[in-house]
Chain A
Amino acid sequence: MLKKRVIAAIMVKDGLVVQSIGFERYLPVGKIDIAIEFLEHWDVDEIAIIDIGATNNGNNIDFNSIKKASKKCFLPISAGGGIDNIDTARNILASGADKIIISSAAFTKPSFISECSEIFGDQSIVVCLDIKKMDNGEYRCFTHSGTIDTNISAIEFIEKNQNYGIGEILINSIDQDGSKKGYDIELVKLIQNIATVPVIAMGGAGSFEHMSQVFKETGISAVAAGNIFHFVEHSTAIAKAYLKNSDIPIRKSHILDYTGHIFDEFCRVTPYKFVDAI
């Protein structure tokens, strides 16, 4: 059976991993390769590296950081930020990433997704939609780190484009970003209902219960989170154990396995207490 995935999102700005809050404030966390090394040891299922400054600065994501990171990482990596041409996409894949994440270019260059898919295959293309809920309730796509309104609704974009080269859709809620209030379940449900490609939810995870909730209520393929994974030891292994305890099908761990433990409100393992003992 196909397992549900826990993806660690590594947000990068000016070469450093950052915590992002509402697409407006950024707190430095540390170096990319160190973050990846930890996450790999903590048994995460996949890593997504997103350079959030790249489009606005006119830069591309730094290939060397991916190359360095992938040397010790035997997990799937997707990477993006400012990708708007085939050469950049090719370089990112050649550096050790398995998938490219396309965001702004999906709107500024409408044929770009299908061009990439013809060369690299649909399965290598993740489209990241930064979505904001408008006053009239419409979920609308924004680009350039949430600063430019595309005037295109998320539903319209997906229905029109998903059969033309998209491998996965990463939905990033601008409203929930950094809020710790949980995923926007309404948004995720709407998209999961119309999507024929795997959907990943991102934005707002403040506890592992939020992850369990979004899996149970929407049936999506994967959850992604950034902030929550950076500040707790063994965070991703604990998240997976929590989900397993909640009967979500999760990949069996070969490194760190906390299945059966219980966790406190700060997502830490509570020593010597087990689910069965409650």
Chain B
Amino acid sequence: MNFINKDILVLNIGIGNIQSVVNAINHTGRSCVTGSSKIDIDAAKVIIFPGVGAFGEAVKLLKNLGIFEYLITKLLDKDIYFLGICLGMQLLFEKSYEHGTHQGLALLEGSIMKMDFAETLPHVGWNNIDVSSNSTLFYNIEESSDFYFDHSYSAVCDSSIVSSFVDYSGKKVVASVEKDNIFGVQFHPEKSQFLGLKIIDNFLKKAQSA
């Protein structure tokens, strides 16, 4: 199945680097739309949620747009493939402790905690990851490749949903999660040059073949 125009939705809630994600999808030879309405979500087969921003602010915006609960229902459906990037991945979890305590979409079990163990925060720059064997996102990507990270908070969750870890300050930090129709990456594939585009392509291929 090939995607047509409105199949791929880049969720735009007013914060975050929307343009780069659109550019990356276009670069894989696909078109996409941006939007944040229930109509946009209904029309979509794939939702990519880019994230630059603070957790609480993003939750507030999703609620103001009236799509917080709607997104949960839609994603539980398993018909829609979802890729959360950075904050977009963190929002999938139950709660976050970034500037207070905030409830997330709770589609994945776990919480978002500050990486207090590190001497320097944020964790910013290119870092190599360790991938588990059955990952969809990292298909055909060389082991120990570098990706671009920029975050101070990270997911703390059961390792069964984690598809890759990154080492920061001597600790294993969740770099990506994969569960059924739900995918999330802590790093920025849209900013990780060739290999990052490959990850977006791998995700879209998986969604296409579903």
Residues of A within 8 A of B (CB): 1-5, 40, 45, 67, 70-72, 74-76, 90, 93-99, 117-124, 167-168, 195-198, 221-222, 251-252, 254-255
Contact = CB atoms under 8 A, between A and B. Distances in A.
A220 to B, nearest CB: 10
Contacts of B188: 76, 98
Residue of B24, B52, B57, B145 with most partner-chain A CB within 10 A: B52
B19 A70 contact: yes
B192 A198 contact: no
A74 B16 CA distance: 15
Contacts, number: 123
A121 B87 contact: yes
A90 B194 CA distance: 27
Contact of B125 (A93, A97, A99, A198): A198
Contact of B52 (A1, A74, A121, A197): A121
Given A70-B23, A75-B191, A197 B122 contact: yes
Main secondary structure of the interface of B (DSSP, over half): mixed
Nearest to B55: A121
A85 to B, nearest CB: 15
B15 A255 contact: no
A198 B122 contact: yes
B47 interface: no
B192 A74 contact: yes
B53 A74 contact: no
Interface in B182-210: 188, 190-197
B193 A74 contact: yes
Interface residues of B, number: 44
Contacts of B23: 70-72, 74, 96
B88 to A, nearest CB: 12
Contacts of B150: 76, 98-99, 123-124, 167
A124 B53 contact: yes
Contact of A120 (B18, B54, B146, B167): B54
B197 to A, nearest CB: 6
Contacts of B121: 122, 196-197
A30 to B, nearest CB: 22
B20 to A, nearest CB: 5
Contact of A74 (B24, B98, B120): B24
B193 A75 contact: yes
A121 B174 CA distance: 19
B27 interface: yes
Contacts of B122: 122-123, 167-168, 197-198
Contact of A254 (B99, B119, B124, B194): B194
Residue of B24, B27, B167, B193 with most partner-chain A CB within 10 A: B193
A119 B57 CA distance: 6
A98 B53 contact: no
Contacts of B152: 121-123
